[in-house]
Chain A
Amino acid sequence: MKAIQMEEVQQALDSFANKEVYVHLETTNGAYAKHFDKNAYNVGAFIRNAKVSFSRAKIVGAESTYRIGLKMEMGWIYAEGVSDWELNDEGQLLLAGHDAQGRLMVALQISDKPFRY
């Protein structure tokens, strides 16, 4: 993955609009957060292969990280803290945010085909 270029990411997001796509969305601070610091709190959520369609997608800059919103007929998909992106060999758009040690903190991924499950 590489640092986000807004125009390129916007173009990639647009290419998935108005059709059936598969979304992977997750955020996590790791299963060991509380183990390593008793004052921490483990949080995480993911949904893999949600079949959705969105009419509009937009990436908005917030200094080094970005927010992305996907507008669906009956609701929204939202991710904050996204910093890196890749369009992989299978045409899947991968977006993620990492901490200074390279650990994943948030991911939003869009694909025409289901992600491996």
Chain B
Amino acid sequence: MQKHVVVIYPHPDDESFGCSGTITQFRKEGIPVTYLCGTLGEMGRNMGSPFFANRETLPEIRKQELLDACSVLDVQVEMLGYRDKTIEFESRDEIAEHIKTYLEQIKPSLVITHYPGEAVHPDHDAMGAAAIEAVRKMNPEDRPVLWAQAITNDRYEKLGNPDVVRDVQDVFDTKMKAIESHRSQFEGMLNKFKQSPEFLGKNKDALERFYYEEFYTWKFE
């Protein structure tokens, strides 16, 4: 049984699309979950469908959506204040030190982040790398378990099968409610999943790909 779970992703909605089923299952067991959200997704291109946001209003809208989703998921959220699309250009070491201050305070038993190099969006790769570096910097005996999430289309060929596969169908309603909290984002993203030539035929229903959440347990040297 986990004591406290920390989720580290760069954007509002990564938590809902990525691991909200797992989060919900942990919360049902009474385990505290904290989301460290790197940016406000300021540079997102989904503006709602039909669009209701613009480049200048998007940050505040997405901040509220993040708070709404975290309320649905019943998790604490900390906004780290980086800027969308720029994480890979910042100092990885500084971000890692920043993340480490939260980890030392929260003392999680489990950290969930993106698998660097296998997470499609440059912010995902960079935030995942910084999160892993933050855990690596801790005393080995204090380190939490770390689950890295890969989302590239060829992840199985490159990494093999994930060792953690969680069936989240029992909390699927909550997961969809969290996703739909991101009103400016979810329709555009779901349509992309439905129309993608890379995904057609892989799942009968585009939503079925959200039934399972997969992670690779990170091995430190």
Contacts and interface: CB of A to CB of B under 8 A. Distances in A.
Contacts, number: 77
Contact of A102 (B153, B188, B198): B188
Contacts of B46: 101-104
B55 A104 contact: yes
A32 B50 contact: no
B120 A32 contact: yes
A102 B50 contact: yes
A34 B57 CA distance: 27
Interface of A: 1, 24, 26, 28, 30-32, 35-38, 46, 86, 88, 92, 94, 96, 98, 101-105, 107, 109, 115-117
A109 B57 CA distance: 13
Contact of A24 (B55, B59, B123, B195): B55
Given A31-B122, A103-B188, A109 B55 contact: yes
B48 interface: yes
| Nearest 9 pairs of A and B residues by beta carbon | A102-B51, A36-B196, A102-B49, A104-B45, A31-B121, A103-B45, A35-B120, A36-B192, A101-B49
B150 interface: no
Interface residues of B, number: 31
B164 to A, nearest CB: 22
B65 to A, nearest CB: 15
Given A46-B85, A102-B48, 12 more contacts: A35-B120, A37-B196, A37-B197, A38-B153, A38-B198, A88-B54, A88-B56, A101-B49, A102-B47, A104-B51, A105-B45, A109-B55
Nearest to B187: A101
B209 to A, nearest CB: 13
Given A31-B121, A35-B153, A101 B54 contact: no
B43 interface: yes
Most chain B CB inside 10 Å of its own CB: which residue of A1, A31, A86, A92:
A31
A13 to B, nearest CB: 17
A81 to B, nearest CB: 13
Contacts of A102: 46-51, 188
Nearest to B124: A31
Interface in B179-221: 187-188, 191-193, 195-199
Contacts of B59: 116
Contacts of A107: 55
